[in-house]
Structures are given as C-alpha cells and as structure tokens.
C-alpha cells in the first residue's frame, strides 16, 4: 500500500503554492515590463531591490516569528505567549521611538540593539509582575496586554507631541514589508539561522522545560538559567523583526498552534513545522495585501493584515485548542471580609469623591508654582476650564466601572472587563469606520459608531464563549483576539495619515483635554441612565454569576436578562471609550477594589465600583495635568499606568483567580 | 396530596422524548411516568444519559422530539417563573457563589415568587428561614458560602431549592463531591423531606448501594434506554446489575438490616 501524504502537509503545501502563485503573478507583471525593454533599469531595480527582497523578508520574518513564538510558548508553558501578546513587540517599538527622538545616533548604529533592549525590558517587567504567581498563563498574558497597551499609548503620545516627524514611524510600526534593498532580509536571515542553531542545541533543556518545574528540577536542569537564555533568544528574534519591518502580530501565536494542530507532536517536528508555517502565513498574507493593493498603492500594512486574518483564525481555533491545566488556578481565592454596614462605607467613599472633585477643581500648578484657587473670580475662570474635563473623567470612570461589574458578573469571570475583552478597541473600530466615511461626523454619529462597534465586539465574544463553552481563560483569549483585530482596523485607518488619523491617534491615547460642557453633560446623563437600571436589575446580577443552569432553575429568563445587561454594558463602555479612549482599566480595577473593600453584595458593589471608578479617573486626570506641567499627559495613558500598578499588587497577592 | 390518592395522575409523563446534539443521538426516544411523593434514583454507567434525562425534566434542555408533561401540562406551556415554582433543579457542579452568605443564597430561591422587581415580603423571609431550619443551617446563616465545607455548601444549595417552595426537586449527582459521612447526611435529609412533605425527588446517583439504601425506586439507564426499574430489592439482583453495568456482580446482605448490597465479582 502506498504511503499517503498526511493531509496537513498537503494543506500547507497548497497554501505555500498559493502564496508562490501570488508572488509569481507579481513577478510576471514585472517581468513583462522587463522584456519590453523601454525602461529596463527601473524595472530591474524594482525586481531586484523591491520584489525579491520583499518575498525574502516575508519568509524570513515569518519563520523568525514562528520560532520565537514556539520558544516562548514552550518555556512559559503558555499557549497564548508570543512576541505581541507579551508586549515584546510593543516594548521594542516604544524603545525605537524614544531612541529616534532623543538619541538618534544609537538607532543609526544598531536599531536591533535598541529594539532588543526594549523587548527585554517588557519581558523582564512581565516576568517580575507574574513571578510570584508562578508565571501562570492568564496572569502572564494579562500583564503582557497591559504592557503592550501602555507602550502603544505612550508611543501614540510621543507621536502626538512630535507631529509629522514620528508619524512615519507609526506607519512603519504597522509592519509594512515594502523593501528597498537586501539589508533587512540579510539581517533577519543570519539571526534566524543563529536562533535555529541555538534552539537545536538547547533542544533537551527546552523539552524538559515543557514539563512542570518540579519534574524539570528533578531531572537536574538548572531551571532559571536555561529559561532566561531561551527567553532572551526569543526576544532577540522578535526584536529583530520589529526593528527591520515593524510589529507583525499573530504569526508568532498562530504558527506553533497550527503546527500542533497539523500533527507536529515532538519538539523536533515542531521546531521544523512552526518556522515553516510562520513563513508561509506571512508570505501568503503579504501576497494578499499586494493583490488587494492594486494600482492605488498599499494602504494596509501587512502587520495589520496579519491581525485581520489571524484574529478570526484564532477565534475559530479557540474551542479546538487544549489549554494547560494550571495547578495554581485551583487554589481557593482569598475572600475579603464583608463589611458590616456597606452603605456607610459607600457614603464615606462618596465624600472622598466630592473632596477629590474639589481638589481637582481648586488645586493646580501654575507658572508661579502650586496654588489654591480661592478667590471667586479666579475660581470661576478656572472652573470653566477644569469642570468639563473633570466631570468627563469622573463619569467615564463610573461608567466603565459599572460595565466592569456587569461583565464580570454575567461571565462569572473576575478577569473580564470592557478593556480586557477588547470592547474598548471595538468601540474604536466603530468610531474609525464613522470617521472614515464622514470625516466631519458630529458627536451623535460618533457615539452611534462606537456603540455599534462595542456591541458587535461583545456579542461576538459572548457568542463564541457560549458556543465553545469557554472557561475564563478562553474568554480572555477571545478578548485578546478581538483586541488585536480591532487594533488592526485602527492601525490601518491611522496609517492613512490624514486628518482623521490624528483624531484617532488622539482618541487612542485617551485625552480629555478638549472636553466641553456638552460632552460633560452627555457623559453625566449617560452615567445616570446606565447606573439606575443596573441598580434596579440587581437581582439579575446576583443570580447570573451562578451560571445559566441555576438561573434558569430559579425561573430567570437567562437570555432576556443577559442580553439586556450586555446591551447596557456595551453602551456604557462605548460612551466611556468615546471620551477617554480604550485603555483606562477602570472597568477591571474598580469592581475588584469595591470587592476588596468588603462590598460584595450586588448593589453595594455596583455603587462602590462606580464611585471608585470615578475617583480613579479624577485622580488620573489631575495627575496627568500636574505631573509634567506645563505639558499634559493623556488621561487614558495615565489611568492605564495606575492600572498596571494595581494589577501588580493584585497578581502579587494572588487574590485574583478562582477556577 | 390529591395527586397521591389518585395513582393514575402522574407528576411527570415522558412520551418518546429524545435528545440529540449536532445529529448525534444522546438519548433515544424514552417513555416513562413518575408519580408524586416518591424519591427516585437515576442510576447507570457513565454516558448512559442520566444527566441528560434529568436536564430534560428540568427543562434545562429541550427534547429533540417527543413530549414531556408535568402535572398533565406540556413543559413548554409553562412560563419560566411558573415552572420554577413547580420544579427546582440543582446542577452537578454548583458554582462558587462568591460574595454571598448562606441566607442570601437561599433567598435567591424566592426569585420565581417575587421576580426581578417585586418586594422581598415577609412570606419570602419565612420560607427562607424555614428552608434554613430544615437543612440545619440556621446557625450558619450569616457565613459566606465559599467558606463552608463541601457538605455544608451542598446543604446551602438544597436550602435554596427548598426556599423555592416547589413540589419537585431534581438533583444531579448531589453527593459526587462529598465524603461518605456527608453523602449519607445529604441523602438522609432528602429522603426525610420527600417522606415528610410529600416532595417528589429525582436524583442522579453514582453509587448503586447508596441509591438502593435511600431511594424508593430506582430507574436504571444504559445507552439512554431504561433497562430496569423498580424497588431497590428488585434492581439489586446479579442478572439485573449485569444488564445495567455489563459487569458480573454479586449480592450480599447487610448484617444488621438485611438489605441487599452489591459487589463486583
């Protein structure tokens, strides 16, 4: 009997051939120009220094990312690990941006070294954050997402502060594979060869690292030394790609997973399959991008396109993927003690909120140093400027917190929140769509766009979750996929480089600088419209965390309750994201804080979280105005930094999870 | 009570109900009737369709074909809350009820009576207090649910079902996570409730000996079909057990009560 070629190999060969054909078509077009003999030199130049190196870069970068992803997933025993989910790419890019601005000479000498340093800092940060949690996958990815989002926001703030000079950096950051020579291909090529060689040499430790720590130590491996060495190798590969072509997401994530699904079982097989699949994926994507570009030139960077293709792929994969059972997840959570008189505590919180509001309005830093606006005239002047933005910040914090409480309770997942599930980014994609089709759209249309985007994102995630019976980890995974997908749409629109791009960039950083009284009143009305129905529907929120089975058996129409609540949460997140951008993390943090203060019944938790969210954003807003006076940082960026600090504490204490 | 006097009036009438997922039949058409006031044990090997049958009875899932009637009315003619006033269901894995104390968990059982917006009345309060007393949880009423032991937590969920004030309780493996002492405690409590208050109870149980010593009647499933049904003494026969589990089994007698006990040969 003839031995049959396994189906996956056929499939990948087929895809490779397809990519080949796309390349061939491009080549043929160029070749016919070459034959006609009119402008030989130019066409030859395009062929030799444009098309061929581009294909080489696509293949090599794809392979490097595949290898890097495989190493990271193996070492961290985490199927979600890859350069972009761990914030390595974002860290590398931020380092490049900073270096380009302040020490351009270093970038000239070795951009890879700068990117490598940035990537290492990001990884070190994540490892430090999650070390005490035993590098548990969900914590690692959450920390990675936080680092990546913060780095992106900081990058966007840099661009806004420096205008056109850095704008090209952002476009390039989208991962364009357009080439003008062979240098990048060579740079990636020799590093990939070195990396592969090193990976083969380190195969034994790598195999053992796939086991758990105790077993690995039992086999006499010096655990941390080999772990750090391999991580550094993976970061080096990823940083090279970032330095040469920019951020390309998903290839590093998808290639190892697809290799496993295609039947590569042993480590040796995976070391061969993952880089190959990565190469095919990126080449194919790049071919499709070129095909779609047509005559008008390319508008979508390939890096954004990989996310557009990879996001849906990931969502499809989710139910089919086997995740590691992580022992630390079963550890019972530490339960905070319930407070005896919750409403008294909420009243105290409310008073603290009012005091903060007063301080935010009155205390400020001027040219003559700190001052308290005490006399009437000055106060009136200042309040006209400060009141709208403080109110916008506070109400948005409250809305995000309310949305966070709802989403955490509906999904019975303590890690879910508007930001983590990509609902903020979804709102951004909706906003981008509206701005794209009608650049001068008013607040109403923008709101309609962002609400639709948020609702669609949330619905998609929950449908997938319900279909695949997703636990907390997978839900988070789906959120990451949606986040990447929507961010790719945003990056593509920003890369257009017109007036709307700047509007979106400003939105990404989450700035309240231009808040008006109209926006303040819209936000305030929104907060009331959202919070009151939720307080009324508190019984739904109490029953739903117990699961659909229990809810149905006590006679709750689960679908109605869920859909209503989700609608409210999506609207709240969209409205808040409209004003403060996608990344404040108030929605994740405030519900936790409320619970840790002993407010655990539905209504107290909701009320407490809303006040805490408002407090958080007011403090962020005030700090963002004061810290670097006379410059102002975007409040969203600041809130996400605060969020990072909080998450560190949370992860360190191990308060967090429950299986 | 009326229903108990008329044996022809069934609590549940299952007629050729079947269940399938994605074209795969999990439960072939099944017909049976359950009488009020009895404690039924659903037994059988893994994958025999016990839990699926229970979920159909609880209206957690809809039958692919056939019909199920409760008190003579088709299940889908009940409103969600209507049905929840008649039948309470406990899933196999009870979720961790975070941030709730025992009294609040039991209080959720009153939802079908007061709804999302209705006031939590004195009657609701009474029913909750009574349910806590019946499950001996009065002293633990203010304790947080996630600080309880496994047996206590299971009793708290039972209290929620009792507060629901239904005629029928459906329990999916209520003892699977418990040690022996707590298994006996829960099953004895359930039997007492059934006999004293005339509650109908259908419980999926794993341990055939445990089921035999507490249930009034056993219904044995294999591959989604009822292979045996009757009083425990009739089921605990070597030939019957072989037909259920496909395993040669023997029977011995309890040295004190004389009740049959099965063992694997």
How big is chain B, counted in residues?
Answer: 265
- CB atoms near residue B171 (< 10 Å): 27
The reply to whether residue B80 touches residue A555, judged by beta carbons under 8 angstroms, is yes
Coil vs helix vs strand at B200 = strand
The reply to whether residue A553 touches residue B58, judged by beta carbons under 8 angstroms, is yes
Minimum distance, in Å, between the CA of residue A332 and any CA atom of chain B: 9
The reply to whether residue B146 touches residue A542, judged by beta carbons under 8 angstroms, is no
The CA distance from B135 to B155, in Å, is 6
Closest of A145, A144, A99 to residue A243, by C-alpha: A99
User: What pLDDT score does A431 carry?
Assistant: 86
B24 and B138 assigned to the same domain:
no
Contact status of B146 with chain A (Cβ, < 8 Å): yes
B135 and B206 assigned to the same domain:
no
The CA distance from A232 to A228, in Å, is 6
In a domain, residue B260? The reply is no
B65 and B172 assigned to the same domain:
yes
Who wins on pLDDT, A508 or A398?
A398
The reply to whether residue B80 touches residue A537, judged by beta carbons under 8 angstroms, is no
B7 and B129 assigned to the same domain:
no
CATH of the domain at B12: 3.40.50.300
- CB contacts, 8 Å: B112 with chain A: 554-555
- CB atoms near residue A160 (< 10 Å): 17
Q: Please check the confidence at residue B10 and state whether its pLDDT lies above 80.
A: yes
In a domain, residue B246? The reply is no
Secondary structure letter of residue B17 according to DSSP: E
Which of B99, B119, B163, B172 best tests the A interface by mutation, with the highest count of A CBs <10 A? B99
Cα nearest neighbour of B83 on chain A: A555
Q: Please check the confidence at residue A365 and state whether its pLDDT lies above 80.
A: no
Q: Please check the confidence at residue B137 and state whether its pLDDT lies above 90.
A: yes
Coil vs helix vs strand at A314 = helix
pLDDT per position as a tens digit, A377-395: 777 777 888 889 899 999 9
B22 and B116 assigned to the same domain:
no
pLDDT per position as a tens digit, B32-78: 999 999 999 999 998 888 999 999 999 988 899 999 999 989 998 99
The encoded tokens of residue A464 equal 């997938």
Sign of the Cα pseudo-torsion (A72, A78, A79, A84, in order): negative
The reply to whether residue B82 touches residue A555, judged by beta carbons under 8 angstroms, is yes
Strand B87-90 to B168-172 pairing: parallel
In a domain, residue B30? The reply is yes
In a domain, residue B231? The reply is no
Could you tell me if A90 and A235 are in contact, meaning their C-beta atoms sit under 8 angstroms apart? no
Domain that holds residue B139: 94-165
Phi, psi of B24 (to 5 degrees): -95, 125
User: What pLDDT score does A651 carry?
Assistant: 60
The reply to whether residue B60 touches residue A549, judged by beta carbons under 8 angstroms, is yes
Element (H, E) at A399: helix A376-410
Which of B104, B116, B146, B153 best tests the A interface by mutation, with the highest count of A CBs <10 A? B116
B70 and B10 assigned to the same domain:
yes
B106 and B137 assigned to the same domain:
yes
- A657: region left, alpha or beta (phi > 0 left; psi from -120 to 50 alpha): beta
B192 and B63 assigned to the same domain:
yes
Contact status of B98 with chain A (Cβ, < 8 Å): yes
Contact status of B84 with chain A (Cβ, < 8 Å): yes
- CB contacts, 8 Å: B150 with chain A: none
pLDDT band at B4 (very low <50, low <70, confident <90, very high): very low
A531-538 own/partner pairs: CB under 8 Å, 24+ apart: A531/A398, A531/A402, A531/A606, A531/A610, A533/A568, A534/A402, A534/A405, A534/A406, A534/A565, A534/A568, A534/A606, A535/A603, A535/A606, A535/A607, A536/B116, A536/B117, A537/A561, A537/A564, A537/A565, A537/B116, A538/A602, A538/A603, A538/A606
User: What pLDDT score does A653 carry?
Assistant: 58
- CB atoms near residue B95 (< 10 Å): 15
CA B218-B221-B225 angle, 5° bins = 130
How far out from the chain centre does Cα A511 lie? Answer: 18
pLDDT band at A506 (very low <50, low <70, confident <90, very high): confident
B1 and B82 assigned to the same domain:
yes
B37 and B160 assigned to the same domain:
no
pLDDT per position as a tens digit, A233-258: 999 999 998 888 888 878 888 888 88
pLDDT per position as a tens digit, A530-568: 999 999 989 999 998 888 888 888 988 888 888 889 889
Total structural domains in chain B? 2
- CB contacts, 8 Å: B87 with chain A: 553
pLDDT band at B171 (very low <50, low <70, confident <90, very high): very high
User: What pLDDT score does B118 carry?
Assistant: 82
The CA distance from A258 to A255, in Å, is 5
Who wins on pLDDT, A656 or B140?
B140
**Average pLDDT of every residue of chain B:** 89
B99 and B82 assigned to the same domain:
no
**Average pLDDT of every residue of chain A:** 80
pLDDT per position as a tens digit, A574-627: 888 888 887 677 888 899 889 888 888 899 999 999 999 999 889 888 888 887
Please name each of the domains of chain A with its CATH number. 42-317 (1.10.3470.10), 342-628 (1.10.3470.10)
In a domain, residue B132? The reply is yes
Contact status of A555 with chain B (Cβ, < 8 Å): yes
Site of tokens 């006379």:
A630
The encoded tokens of residue A372 equal 């308290």
- CB contacts, 8 Å: B98 with chain A: 333, 335, 545, 600, 658
Contact status of B60 with chain A (Cβ, < 8 Å): yes
In a domain, residue B15? The reply is yes
In a domain, residue B214? The reply is yes
Share of chain A above pLDDT 70, in %: 83
Which of A410, A467, A555 best tests the B interface by mutation, with the highest count of B CBs <10 A? A555
Q: Please check the confidence at residue A28 and state whether its pLDDT lies above 50.
A: yes
Contact status of B164 with chain A (Cβ, < 8 Å): yes
pLDDT band at A638 (very low <50, low <70, confident <90, very high): confident
B71 and B41 assigned to the same domain:
yes
Radius of gyration, alpha carbons of chain B? 19
In a domain, residue B25? The reply is yes
User: What pLDDT score does A1 carry?
Assistant: 40
């Amino acid at each position: 009997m003839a031995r049959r070629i396994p189906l996956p190999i056929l499939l990948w060969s087929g895809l490779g051939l397809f990519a080949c054909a796309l390349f061939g078509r491009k080549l043929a077009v160029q070749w016919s120009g070459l034959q006609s003999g009119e402008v030989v030199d130019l066409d030859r130049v395009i062929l030799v220094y444009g098309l061929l190196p581009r294909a080489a870069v696509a293949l090599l970068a794809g392979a490097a990312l595949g290898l890097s992803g495989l190493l990271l997933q193996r070492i961290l025993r985490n199927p979600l690990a890859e350069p972009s989910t761990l914030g390595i790419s974002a860290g590398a890019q931020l380092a490049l941006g900073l270096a380009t601005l302040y020490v351009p000479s270093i970038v000239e000498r070795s951009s890879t070294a700068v990117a490598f340093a940035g990537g290492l800092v990001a990884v070190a940060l994540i490892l430090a954050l999650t070390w005490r949690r035993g590098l548990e996958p969900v914590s690692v990815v959450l920390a990675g997402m936080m680092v990546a989002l913060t780095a992106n926001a900081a990058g966007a703030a840099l661009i806004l502060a420096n205008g056109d000079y850095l704008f090209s950096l952002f476009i390039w950051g989208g991962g364009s594979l357009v080439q003008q020579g062979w240098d990048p291909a060579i740079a990636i090529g020799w590093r990939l060869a070195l990396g592969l060689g090193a990976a083969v040499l380190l195969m034994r430790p790598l195999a053992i690292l796939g086991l758990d720590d105790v077993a690995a130590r039992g086999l006499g491996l010096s655990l941390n030394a080999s772990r750090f060495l391999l991580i550094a190798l993976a970061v080096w590969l990823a940083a090279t790609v970032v330095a040469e072509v920019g951020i390309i997401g998903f290839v590093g994530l998808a290639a190892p997973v697809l290799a496993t699904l295609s039947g590569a079982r042993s480590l040796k097989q995976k070391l061969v399959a993952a880089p190959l699949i990565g190469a095919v994926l990126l080449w194919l994507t790049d071919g499709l991008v070129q095909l779609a570009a047509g005559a008008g030139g390319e508008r979508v960077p390939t890096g954004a396109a990989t996310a557009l293709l990879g996001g849906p792929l990931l969502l499809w994969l989710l139910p089919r993927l086997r995740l590691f059972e992580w022992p630390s997840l079963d550890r019972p959570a530490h339960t905070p003690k319930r407070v005896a008189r919750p409403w008294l505590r909420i009243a105290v919180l409310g008073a603290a909120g009012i005091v903060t509001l007063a301080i935010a309005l009155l205390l400020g830093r001027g040219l003559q140093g700190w001052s308290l606006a005490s006399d009437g005239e000055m106060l009136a002047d200042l309040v006209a400027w400060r009141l709208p933005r403080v109110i916008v910040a506070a109400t948005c914090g409250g809305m995000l917190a309310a949305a966070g409480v709802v989403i955490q309770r509906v999904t019975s997942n303590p890690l879910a929140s508007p930001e983590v599930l990509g609902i903020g980014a979804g709102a951004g994609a909706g906003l981008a769509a509206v701005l794209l089709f009608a650049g001068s759209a008013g607040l109403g249309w923008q709101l309609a766009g962002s609400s639709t985007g948020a609702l669609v994102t949330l619905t998609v995630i929950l449908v997938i979750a319900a279909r695949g019976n997703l636990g907390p980890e997978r839900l988070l995974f789906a959120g990451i996929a949606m986040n990447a997908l929507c961010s790719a749409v945003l990056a593509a629109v920003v890369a257009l480089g017109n007036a709307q791009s700047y509007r979106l960039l400003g939105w990404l950083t989450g700035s309240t600088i231009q808040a008006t009284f109209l926006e303040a009143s819209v936000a305030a009305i929104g907060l009331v419209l959202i919070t009151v129905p939720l307080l009324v529907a508190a019984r739904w929120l109490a029953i739903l965390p117990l699961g659909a089975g229990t809810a149905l058996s006590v006679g709750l129409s689960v679908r109605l309750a869920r859909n209503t609540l989700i609608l409210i949460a999506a609207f709240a997140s969209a409205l808040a994201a409209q004003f403060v951008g996608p990344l404040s993390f108030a929605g994740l943090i405030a519900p936790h804080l409320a619970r840790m203060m002993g407010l655990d019944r539905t209504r107290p938790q909701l009320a407490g979280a809303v006040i805490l969210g408002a407090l958080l954003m007011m403090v962020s807003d005030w700090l963002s105005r004061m810290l670097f006076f006379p410059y102002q940082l975007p409040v969203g960026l600041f809130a996400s930094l605060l969020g990072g600090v909080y998450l560190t504490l949370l992860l360190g204490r191990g308060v967090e999870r429950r299986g | 009570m009326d229903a108990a006097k008329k044996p022809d009036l069934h609590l549940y009438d299952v007629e050729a109900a079947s269940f399938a997922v994605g074209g795969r039949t999990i439960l072939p058409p099944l017909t049976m009737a359950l009488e009020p006031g009895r404690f039924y044990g659903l037994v059988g090997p893994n994958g025999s369709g016990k839990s699926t049958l229970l979920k159909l009875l609880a209206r957690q899932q809809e039958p692919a074909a056939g019909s199920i009637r409760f008190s003579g009315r088709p299940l889908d003619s009940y409103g969600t809350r209507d049905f929840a006033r008649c039948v309470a269901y406990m899933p196999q894995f009870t979720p961790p009820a975070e941030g709730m104390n025992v009294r609040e968990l039991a209080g959720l059982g009153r939802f079908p009576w007061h709804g999302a917006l209705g006031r939590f009345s004195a009657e609701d309060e009474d029913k909750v207090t009574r349910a806590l007393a019946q499950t001996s949880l009065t002293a633990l009423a203010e304790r947080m649910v996630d600080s309880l032991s496994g047996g206590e937590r299971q009793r708290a969920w039972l209290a929620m079902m009792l507060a629901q004030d239904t005629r029928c309780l459906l329990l999916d493996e209520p003892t699977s996570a418990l040690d022996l002492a707590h298994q006996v405690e829960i099953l004895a409590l359930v039997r007492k409730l059934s006999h004293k208050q005339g509650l109908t109870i259908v419980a999926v149980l794993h341990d055939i000996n445990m089921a035999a010593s507490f249930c009034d009647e056993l219904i044995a499933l294999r591959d989604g079909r009822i292979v045996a049904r009757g009083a425990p003494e009739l089921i605990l026969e070597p030939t019957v057990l072989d037909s259920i589990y496909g395993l040669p089994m023997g029977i011995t007698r309890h040295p004190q009560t004389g009740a049959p006990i099965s063992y694997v040969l």
